């Protein structure tokens, strides 16, 4: 027997052995067969709306896969009434009288965007917003003029498709805001003081008995004795002027000391920060410093925390329609105040004086507003006198002293908002562009602290830096200096 005959015999034996399995598989395939009919186009039904559809062939039976999405009822053997109940997809099946499949219809229930489009056009007539449906949600696209219009469109869409709104809209126009702020604080203080001291002394019974009385500055140490005997005295260090006069009659001595103080002071604080922030984003500014404050921790150790002080600005801009800008602003001016400090655990901690303003305003591009009236007026007066003697008319002024102090300060904040766009770096100049480091020859030979005066080749040839470099240095430096 040849090899070919042996292979044929093996194949016949294998087919005989596998024939029961193949017959069983073929029987199952014939018992379960997927019916396919003519594919119908997708049926889109608005939610809570009804659609009437007709079939080309009469049907005897129909069913819906998910009655929670769509409800159906028959009007005739060719007409079907479909009601959208909830957003989603389901399948409508039609069978003929013999129970054979006519077709499967994919039913998609979508949100009712027709009414939504009408309302959107009424509320935002000038906005180009496109409305589409995706599965069971709403998709918004296009370009709107402001963030306010975008928020209104999204809020309206959420009423028709809660939590199923996709935002593909973009905000057009300039969305960067530059805030130019000017802080100006004026403080004025006036202090006046007038005090008088009287010393009276003498000898009685030929010098065996002496009397001495004094008040005020003459009551300190040996001032009374020194001034009665014509010697010097130690006055108040704060006094700007003093005048003493004394006379005697026999053994009686009398002296008067007058001290006067008057001081005036004016302090000006000014800061002009310029900040740029994207619409809806927060920006902050601090011109000052941080003060270390010791804080006790849980393990009896001391850690250091830093508290900022100075001129502070914090704002969040929002660009609205028609170049309007909404700004949430916090502005504060603070400083160290040793008069309200404390002593604790061996540390001397200063207090802070702080004036702060929080507001929300709305203005247009280029407009300004002012926060004024942050006025502080402190007044204090004090009178001290010798009992009864100080109440004597005219002469009583010699036995009393008076102090008067008044401090006034006012803070004004002026804010200007601008809509800005970036520029190329070549269009900007720095205050350091005009400053050139001198060479050793220029410094030691000619005494130039700024180089470049004798080196024209090092100067920039074009651009804002070249214009700045043409200026001399005989005036002020930097941007602002008075």
Residue spans of the domains in the chain: they are 41-110, 113-173, 184-266, 269-379+407-420, 425-470
pLDDT of residue 303: 83
pLDDT for position 12: 41
H or E stretch including 73?
strand 70-74
Looking at residue 420, its pLDDT comes to: 85
Answer yes or no: are the C-beta atoms of 340 and 351 closer than 8 Å: yes
For the beta carbon of residue 334, count every other beta carbon within 10 angstroms. Answer: 18
Per DSSP, the three-state class of 88 is: strand
Residue 337: per-residue pLDDT: 83
Under 8 Å between Cβ of 309 and 293: no
Angle of the 113-123 helix axis to the 147-160 helix axis, nearest 10: 150
The CATH number corresponding to 113-173 among 3.30.1340.30, 3.40.1080.10, 3.40.630.30, 3.40.50.1970 equals 3.30.1340.30
Q: How high is the pLDDT of residue 1?
A: 46
Distance CA 461, CA 463 (A): 7
Block means of pLDDT (10 residues each) for the chain, 482 residues, are 46 43 40 47 82 88 90 89 87 88 86 84 87 82 82 88 85 80 82 76 58 63 64 60 67 73 75 84 88 80 86 87 84 84 78 86 88 77 76 73 82 87 74 75 81 60 58 47 34
Looking at residue 83, what is its pLDDT? Answer: 92
The CATH code of the domain at 41-110 is: 2.60.40.1080
Write the CA distances from 186 to 111, 191, 262, 373, integer angstroms.
63, 17, 20, 12
Q: Kindly provide the b/e burial profile for residues 210-232, where b requires at least 16 CB atoms within 10 angstroms of the residue's own CB.
A: eeeebbbbbeeeebbbbbbeeee
Looking at residue 224, what is its pLDDT? 66
For residue 385, give the H/E element and its range.
strand 368-385
Indicate the SS3 state at residue 230.
coil
């Amino acid at each position: 027997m040849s090899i070919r005959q042996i292979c044929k015999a093996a194949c016949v034996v294998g087919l005989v052995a596998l024939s029961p399995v193949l017959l069983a598989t073929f029987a199952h395939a014939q018992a379960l067969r997927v019916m396919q009919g003519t594919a119908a186009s997708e049926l889109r039904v608005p939610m809570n709306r009804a659609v009437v559809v007709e079939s080309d062939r009469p049907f005897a039976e129909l069913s819906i896969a998910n009655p929670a999405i769509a409800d159906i009822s028959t009007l005739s053997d060719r007409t079907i009434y479909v009601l959208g109940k909830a957003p989603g997809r389901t399948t409508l099946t039609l069978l003929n009288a013999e129970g054979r499949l006519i077709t499967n219809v994919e039913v998609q229930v979508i949100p009712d965007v027709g009414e939504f489009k009408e309302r959107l056009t009424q509320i935002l007539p000038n906005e180009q917003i496109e409305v589409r449906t995706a599965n069971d949600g709403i998709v918004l696209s296009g370009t709107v003029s402001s963030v306010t219009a975008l928020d209104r469109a999204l809020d309206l869409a959420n009423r028709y498709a809660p939590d199923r709104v996709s935002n593909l809209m973009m905000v057009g126009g300039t969305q960067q805001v530059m805030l130019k702020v000017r802080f100006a604080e004026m403080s004025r203080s006036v202090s006046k003081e007038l005090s008088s001291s009287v010393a009276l002394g003498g000898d009685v019974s030929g010098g065996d008995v002496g009397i001495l009385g004094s008040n005020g500055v003459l009551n300190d140490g040996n001032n009374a004795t020194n001034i009665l005997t014509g010697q010097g005295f130690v006055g108040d260090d704060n006094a700007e002027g003093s005048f003493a006069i004394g006379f005697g009659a026999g053994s009686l001595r009398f002296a008067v000391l007058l001290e006067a103080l008057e001081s005036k002071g004016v302090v000006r604080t000014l800061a002009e920060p310029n900040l740029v922030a994207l619409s809806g984003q927060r920006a902050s500014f601090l011109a000052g410093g941080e003060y270390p404050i010791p804080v006790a921790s849980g393990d009896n150790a001391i850690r250091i925390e830093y508290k900022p002080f100075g001129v502070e600005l914090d704002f969040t801009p929002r660009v609205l329609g028609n170049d309007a800008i909404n700004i949430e602003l916090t502005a504060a001016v603070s400083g160290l105040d040793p008069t309200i400090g404390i002593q604790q655990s061996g540390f001397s901690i200063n207090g802070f004086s702080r004036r702060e303003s929080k507001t929300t305003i709305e203005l247009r591009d280029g407009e300004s507003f002012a926060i004024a009236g942050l006025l502080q007026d402190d007044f204090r007066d004090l009178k001290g006198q010798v009992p009864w003697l100080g109440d004597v008319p005219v002469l009583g002024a010699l036995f009393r002293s008076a102090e008067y102090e008044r401090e006034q300060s006012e803070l004004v904040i002026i804010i200007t908002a601008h809509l800005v766009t970036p520029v190329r770096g070549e269009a900007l100049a720095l205050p350091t562009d005009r400053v050139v480091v001198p060479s050793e020859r220029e410094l030691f030979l000619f005494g130039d602290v700024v180089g470049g005066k004798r080196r024209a080749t090092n100067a920039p040839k074009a651009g804002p830096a070249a214009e700045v470099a043409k200026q001399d240095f005989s005036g002020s430096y930097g941007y602002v200096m008075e």
